[in-house]
Structure formats: structure tokens, C-alpha cells
């Protein structure tokens, strides 16, 4: 696959590309500027050519593709009745808050966090409690003691991101065991958002939380999707795996009447992706590893007031520009603003519950585009020592 080839996305109603003017290159919202696997494009063309786009049913062939994917990739053997089909993972985060915590009760998460983790509890009339991830020897760690301290008697849910957006960590088996132990002892439902699980860029293995603790199935909801993996977020398809009947019933009841059935294009594309996208995905991972290394090398060489950590998974790098911010006027938004002024849009870390001066950079794009973005980033933040 020629991932270096640029794809013009302006004029395609792209959320990412239409937010800023023509002079700004977008490195913010998490979709990739890379085409999906050829088998996906072919499946969509075939489906489009049919001409009738009625209500859909999730066919047995897609269910089989999902079951095979989980077994092949993660050694995870589930049954089809564990699946709940969804239009997205974000609706599922909101449903989980409603289903498993009562009004005013608390939902726990680790910060920095993908912003909907912070928004869902409030949107659903629940309370948010947080614990900040720890940086130890240059690697982000789960804040196990702080999580323990943050749990109140009315905390019901842990919204967990694995691998983690924005920190890029694939939590290891010891960390998973500790989190599951916490959920058991404090009687929390573990909602494990594993949407980035297929985008492992390092020689580490993704272990689903439910695989790490098969005997904790009664309290684990796993959320997955083909959308990040195969760059299909505009098709709106995700799924939950909930092995326990009662837990699944509560989750489904919270969404009754609110969620659309998966659409016919999502179904066609998802099945093709899981069945035929393996080779493309292997090439993508290698390409993203190259991009991640390029970002890290650039930050180390050219941005003296900025640090970053190794990205183990995802196509997102977390930049700590607090050193830059400390020697520049302009208030808490100054780093993100300086980037925009230089023609490059990153996500401001404040939306992730981080201190001012942190930024997230989406490197899921052709390398020439990344290089131009990094040049602009150098103009924005390269000036002063931290």
C-alpha cells in the first residue's frame, strides 16, 4: 500500500479538514488521512451498486468475522450472544454511565483522557472522579494508589482506556490484574474501551481486560470497533462484548429506543475489513511505527521545551510543552494557539483534563504531510529552551 500518497480530503465534509482554514494542516481529531484497505473500498462499491439501501440486519457472516477476529488476534473465544452492536463507542460510554451508575453517583477514570470519558458522566447526570496517570522513568503508568483513593462509596464504574488515548500505553498484565482487583474489591463495573487494540506499534501484546480476568466477566464491558483500525469512523459501527447476561441486559436496556441499527455500508465494510484487511493492517502498523519514531526524533532534536514518550499503540502522540509555555506569554492556550498561527492544528490537552501546555498530535497521515506539519510545529514551538 502506498501510504505516502496524499489524499485530498477538503470538500468531502471532513470534520477534521473543514474546521480550520486552507492555511492550516489538521493533526487533531482521531481519523487517518490514509485510504482504507482496497477490499473495503471494493465491498462498499459493490454495496453501493446494488442501489437499494434498506434497513439492515447484522448477518451471520459478519458475526463470524468478528468471532474469528477476536479468536485469532487475542485468543478470545466468546459466543455471538455476547455482542451488542452499536453506532459508535462514544454512545456506549454514555450508555454505560446510565446503565451502571445511578443519578448523581460517581464514575471514575484516568486523566488525561479522551474527552468523552470526561463528558459522559456529566451528560448523563453522573459525577466524574479522576486519578492522574504517573510518568515514571519516561513511561506512563496507571496511578493505582490514586485510583484507589479516588473511589468513593458511591463510585460504580471505571471507564478504562486500553490501549490508552492519549498516552499511547498498552497496559500490561500486571496493571490489568491490579485494575481488575480494584474493581472487584470496590464493586465497580469495568468499561474497557479497547477501540485502539489492533493498532499496536511495539513488540507488546494487547490483552483484553476480559481475557486477563475471565472470572470477572460479570463486571466487564469491552468496547471495540473496526473504525480506528481500518479508518472507517465515518461509517458508524462498533460493538460491545458483554459475556454476562444480566450486565448485558442492563446495558441494552439503557439504550432501548435510542440507537439506530448498524447501516448497510458499515456492515459491508466491517466484514471486508476483518476478513481481508490483515495484510493492509500489518503494513499500516509498520508505517505508523515509522511516523511515531519521526515525531519522537523531531521533538527530541528540534523542540527544546517539549517532551514526549514512546507510543506503544494508536496513531496519537502526547506532547508535553509545559516547558515552552513557562517561558512564553499568552496564557494557558498559548501553545495550541502558537501551533495554529504557524499553520498546524493539534488538540489542546486541556480538553483531556491535562495541565495547560500539553498537546496531542495525530500522526495517522502520509509522511510528506507529517513532515510539513513537523516543520510548522518547529516554527511554533522550536524557539525557546524549556
8 A C-beta contact, residue 271 and residue 62: yes
Please identify, using beta-carbon distances, which residue of 115 and 304 lies nearer to ligand PLP. Answer: 115
Interaction site with ligand PLP (CB under 6 A): 30, 88-90, 114, 161, 165, 193, 195, 225, 227, 233, 238
CB of 352 to ligand PLP, least distance (A): 11
Q: Which residues of 101-135 are buried (b: 16+ CB within 10 A; e: fewer)?
A: beeebbbbbbbbbbbbbbbbbeebebbbbbbebee
Going by their DSSP bridges, the two strands 189-193 and 220-224 should be labelled as parallel
CB of 227 to ligand PLP, least distance (A): 5
Please identify, using beta-carbon distances, which residue of 165 and 369 lies nearer to ligand PLP. Answer: 165
CB of 304 to ligand PLP, least distance (A): 29
The phi, psi pair for 259, rounded to 5°, reads -110, 135
Going by their DSSP bridges, the two strands 344-345 and 127-132 should be labelled as unpaired
CB of 341 to ligand PLP, least distance (A): 25
Please identify, using beta-carbon distances, which residue of 156 and 228 lies nearer to ligand PLP. Answer: 228
- Cα 208 to Cα 176: distance, rounded to the nearest angstrom: 9
Nearest residue to ligand PLP by CB is 88
Please identify, using beta-carbon distances, which residue of 348 and 380 lies nearer to ligand PLP. Answer: 348
User: Of how many residues is the chain composed?
Assistant: 386
CB of 16 to ligand PLP, least distance (A): 11
CB of 88 to ligand PLP, least distance (A): 3
Other Cβ atoms within 10 Å of 195 Cβ, number: 26
Per-residue DSSP letter, 154:
T
Please identify, using beta-carbon distances, which residue of 112 and 323 lies nearer to ligand PLP. Answer: 112
8 A C-beta contact, residue 206 and residue 74: yes
Q: Which of 331, 377, 385 is nearest to 357 (CA)?
A: 331
Please identify, using beta-carbon distances, which residue of 30 and 273 lies nearer to ligand PLP. Answer: 30
Amino acid at each position: 500500500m502506498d501510504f505516502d500518497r496524499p489524499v485530498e480530503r477538503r470538500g468531502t465534509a471532513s470534520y477534521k479538514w473543514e474546521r480550520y482554514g486552507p492555511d492550516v494542516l489538521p493533526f487533531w481529531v482521531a481519523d487517518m488521512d490514509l485510504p482504507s484497505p482496497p477490499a473495503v473500498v471494493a465491498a462498499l462499491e459493490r454495496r453501493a451498486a446494488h442501489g437499494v439501501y434498506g434497513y439492515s440486519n447484522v448477518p451471520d457472516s459478519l458475526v463470524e468475522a468478528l468471532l474469528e477476529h477476536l479468536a485469532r488476534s487475542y485468543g478470545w473465544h466468546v459466543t455471538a450472544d455476547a455482542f451488542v452492536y452499536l453506532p459508535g463507542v462514544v454512545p456506549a460510554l454514555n450508555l454505560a454511565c446510565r446503565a451502571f451508575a445511578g443519578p448523581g453517583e460517581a464514575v471514575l477514570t484516568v486523566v488525561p483522557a479522551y474527552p468523552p470519558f470526561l463528558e459522559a458522566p456529566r451528560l448523563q447526570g453522573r459525577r466524574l472522579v479522576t486519578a492522574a496517570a504517573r510518568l515514571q522513568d519516561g513511561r506512563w503508568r496507571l496511578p493505582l494508589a490514586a485510583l484507589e483513593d479516588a473511589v468513593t462509596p458511591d463510585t460504580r464504574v471505571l471507564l478504562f482506556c486500553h490501549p490508552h488515548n492519549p498516552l499511547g500505553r498498552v497496559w500490561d498484565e500486571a496493571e490489568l490484574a491490579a485494575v481488575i482487583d480494584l474493581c472487584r474489591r470496590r464493586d465497580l463495573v469495568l468499561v474497557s474501551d479497547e477501540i485502539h487494540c489492533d493498532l499496536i506499534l511495539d513488540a507488546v501484546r494487547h490483552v483484553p481486560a476480559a481475557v486477563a480476568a475471565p472470572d470477572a466477566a460479570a463486571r466487564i464491558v469491552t468496547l471495540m470497533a473496526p473504525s480506528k483500525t481500518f479508518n472507517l469512523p465515518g461509517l458508524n459501527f462498533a460493538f460491545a462484548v458483554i459475556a454476562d447476561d444480566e450486565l448485558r441486559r442492563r446495558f441494552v436496556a439503557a439504550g432501548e429506543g435510542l440507537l439506530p441499527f448498524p447501516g448497510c455500508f458499515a456492515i459491508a465494510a466491517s466484514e471486508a475489513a476483518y476478513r481481508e484487511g490483515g495484510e493492509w493492517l500489518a503494513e499500516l502498523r509498520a508505517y505508523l511505527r515509522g511516523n511515531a519514531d519521526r515525531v519522537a526524533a523531531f521533538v527530541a532534536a528540534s523542540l527544546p521545551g517539549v517532551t514526549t514518550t514512546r507510543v506503544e499503540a494508536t496513531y496519537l502522540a502526547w506532547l508535553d510543552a509545559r516547558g515552552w509555555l513557562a517561558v512564553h506569554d499568552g496564557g494557558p492556550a498559548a501553545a495550541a494557539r502558537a501551533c495554529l498561527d504557524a499553520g498546524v492544528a493539534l488538540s489542546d490537552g486541556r480538553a483531556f483534563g491535562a495541565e495547560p501546555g500539553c498537546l496531542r498530535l495525530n500522526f495517522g497521515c502520509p509522511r510528506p504531510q507529517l513532515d510539513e506539519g513537523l516543520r510548522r510545529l518547529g516554527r511554533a514551538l522550536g524557539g525557546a529552551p524549556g
